[in-house]
Amino acid sequence: MTALTKLFRTTTFRLSLTYFALFSAAAIVAIVYLYWNTTVLLSRQLNQTIDAELKGLAEQYRAGGRDQLVRTVAQRSRTPGNSLYLVADRNEKQLAGNLRAVSPQLWDSVGPVEFFYSRPAPGGTEQRLAFANVFRLPGGDRLIVGRDIEDRRELSRLIRSTMLWGLGVMALVGIGGGYWVSRRLLARVDNLSDTTRTIMAGDLSRRLPVSGSGDELDRLAQSLNLMLGRIEQLMAGMREVSDNIAHDLKTPLNRLRNRVEEALREPPDEVAYRDALERTIEEADGLIKTFNALLSIARLEAGAGGDDRDSLDLSALVSDVAELYEPVAEERGITLRADVAAFVPVRGNRQLLGQALANLIDNALKYGVPPAAKGNGHAAEVVVRTSQHDGIAEIAVTDRGPGVPASERERVLARFVRLEASRSEPGSGLGLSLVAAVARLHGGAVRLEDNAPGLRVVVSLPLETNAQGTKTADRPSPGGELRPT
């Protein structure tokens, strides 16, 4: 396809051509209408002028007969301007007037008529167009009163010529403008297409060019660039998740295989076999737990469970889950305290909110112990609080551990992100991801703050309006429904 053919097929060129055609049609109609109205107006004025003059001369004829008419016409013919007069008898003999050499057909006419006549001009005579009214007088005499309309004919010719030239210039400007605009737009579209092909080839770091004019293509390019940025971020996240999955699954699978091989190498012993099988089941449970967490996050991000909501008291839920973890905290030498408001109504899925809260408390109990053998003057304490303000309900879980650096607080909400590079401690790095997914499902958000020292995790949820009270549901069962991830 040639560049010219490609240009003619562009939408911009076709729109420009359509606009030019419509504009030209409208201009032609307007010019023709103006020309026609002008011609009709001039003709009406000419007829009215000639009729008025005929009536005046007829009055002269009735008052004084032929002689009075001849004298009047002779007087007017001395300074005629564009007026034409002729009084002739029945034998076509001129009695008065400035009209000479009348064609024979004019004598046979009655009423308005256009005709050519001759008049003196430098170097000879010239033919000019005239419009006149032929009036028969009693006795066979003729009275002709008219006007020279050669100038009007020249004006009409000039209007027609100007109209044609104007349409020609308009056609050149319209087609040339459409060509120029199409060339510019096609160049930008080609640039966008080239960049798109580069991105399709795998270079997700490229972005569509933006001219800065703020037009439709710029807005489209900006939207697509935002989409490309999001895609690049998701692809990077997928690569990181894949690497983390490979690392987190490879280690327990290797341990499974090694323990089985070790059991097979040992002499047959029922106790050793049972111990190996128990450890294998423990590792398998860890793998299943990781996959279940991944499936839960995927379901939450797909909106599963969003319709299964009831009115509940967030403070009562927090008290129940905190009470469930009190034995665990006591075993680890950590004080677990629930500081809840009297009544914080929300509408949500109690099971999912309980799962998220269990993950937060479990993380705080695991990683919220003050470092250096508690020699920094801060007791090992985890506090869970609820509050409400400005239509927002909040759960805050605070600890006295090492905390999370400000630069890492957004990243740790992603899947499989663990600040411990060696990944030697138990855990899958999915707990905070699940909490964030539950919060988003309920129209809320999660933020991490410095507790100086330690970490403060805040879950914000929409406060239920017009709540008359919420019945505290049964206490969560420790049988695994609120088991942390």
At 134-169, the pLDDT tens digits run: 888 887 888 888 888 888 888 888 888 888 888 788
- Please name which of 286, 278, 277 lies closest in space to residue 248, comparing C-alpha atoms: 286
Distance CA 269, CA 64 (A): 159
Peptide bond into 371 cis (omega under 30): no
Alpha helices per DSSP H over 266-340: 270-301, 314-331
Question: How many Cβ atoms sit within 10 Å of the Cβ of residue 217?
Answer: 18
Distance CA 350, CA 312 (A): 7
pLDDT surpassing 80 at residue 313: yes
Question: How many Cβ atoms sit within 10 Å of the Cβ of residue 291?
Answer: 13
296 or 170, which is more confident? 170
Predicted local confidence at residue 474, as pLDDT: 39
* % of the chain with per-residue pLDDT over 90: 10
- Please name which of 82, 88, 50, 84 lies closest in space to residue 69, comparing C-alpha atoms: 88
pLDDT surpassing 50 at residue 432: yes
Angstrom distances, CA of residue 371 to CA of 188, 398, 401, 429 = 60, 15, 7, 21
Predicted local confidence at residue 459, as pLDDT: 93
At 177-205, the pLDDT tens digits run: 777 777 777 777 778 888 888 888 878 78
Angstrom distances, CA of residue 238 to CA of 30, 59, 241, 243 = 65, 108, 5, 8
Residue 88: band (very low, low, confident or very high) from pLDDT cuts 50, 70, 90:
confident
121 or 460, which is more confident? 460
Predicted local confidence at residue 373, as pLDDT: 41
- Candidate ranges 95-109, 152-166, 462-476; pick with highest mean pLDDT: 152-166
Q: Mean pLDDT across the stretch 15-33?
A: 80
Residue 241: band (very low, low, confident or very high) from pLDDT cuts 50, 70, 90:
low
Mean model confidence pLDDT for the chain:
79
**Domain 3-157, what fold?**
Beta-Lactamase (3.30.450)
Predicted local confidence at residue 393, as pLDDT: 93
Q: Mean pLDDT across the stretch 340-344?
A: 87
Contact 338, 432 (CB under 8 A): no
Residue 479: band (very low, low, confident or very high) from pLDDT cuts 50, 70, 90:
very low
**Domain 305-462, what fold?**
Heat Shock Protein 90 (3.30.565)
Distance CA 251, CA 309 (A): 39
* % of the chain with per-residue pLDDT over 70: 82
Domain ranges of the chain: 3-157, 216-299, 305-462
Architecture of domain 216-299: Orthogonal Bundle (1.10)
At 45-73, the pLDDT tens digits run: 888 888 888 888 888 888 888 889 888 88
Strands 381-389 and 335-339, bridge-based pairing: parallel
Q: Mean pLDDT across the stretch 284-294?
A: 74
